[in-house]
Amino acid sequence: MRSWTLGLELVLLVVILCTTASSGEKKVVCYLGSWSTYRPGNGKFEIENINPYLCTHAIFAFVGITYQGGVNILDSWNEIDKGAFRRFNELRNQNAALKTLVAIGGWNEGSTSYSYVVNDDTLRQTFVKNVVAFVQEYGFDGFDLDWEYPAQRGGADTDKAAFVKLIKELREEFDKYGYLLTAAVGAAESSASISYDIEQLGKYLDFINIMTYDLHGSWDSKTGHNAPLYAGPADETDSEKKLNVDACVNYWLSQGAPAEKIIVGMGTYGRTFTMSSTTCAIGVAAAGAGSAGPYTRESGFLGYNEICEEQSKWTVHWEDQQKVPYACNGNQFVGYDNIESIKIKAEYIVEKGLGGGMIWSLETDDFLGQCHGHTFPLLTIINEVFEN
Catalytic residues: 148
HSE of 188, CA atoms in CB hemisphere, 13 A? 19
Phi, psi of 217 (to 5 degrees): -175, -170
CA distance from start to end of the chain: 38
CB 269 within 8 A of CB 301: yes
> How many CB atoms are closer than 10 A to CB 24?
12
Phi-psi region of 148 (alpha: psi -120 to 50; beta: other; left: phi over 0): beta
Instruction: Return the percent helix, strand and coil in the chain, to nearest 5.
Output: 40, 20, 35
3-state DSSP assignment of residue 2: helix
The Cα 205–Cα 214 span in angstroms is: 23
3-state secondary structure of 325: strand
Measured in degrees and rounded to the nearest 5, phi and psi for residue 208 equal -125, 115
Q: 149: cis peptide before it, omega within 30°?
A: yes
Residue 170 near residue 214 (C-beta atoms within 8 A)? no
Given a contact cutoff of 8 angstroms between Cβ atoms, the answer to whether 255 and 265 are in contact is no
Q: Is 49 exposed, middle or buried (0-12, 13-18, 19+ CB in 10 A)?
A: middle
Q: 71-74 long-range CB contacts below 8 Å, 24 or more apart?
A: 71/104, 71/127, 71/130, 71/131, 71/134
* Cβ proximity of 240 and 277 under 8 Å: no
Residue 263 burial (CB count, 10 A): 26
The dihedral formed by the CA atoms of 194, 199, 204 and 207, expressed in degrees to the nearest 10: 80
Beta-carbon contacts of 51 under 8 Å, excluding residues fewer than 6 positions away, are: 375, 376, 379
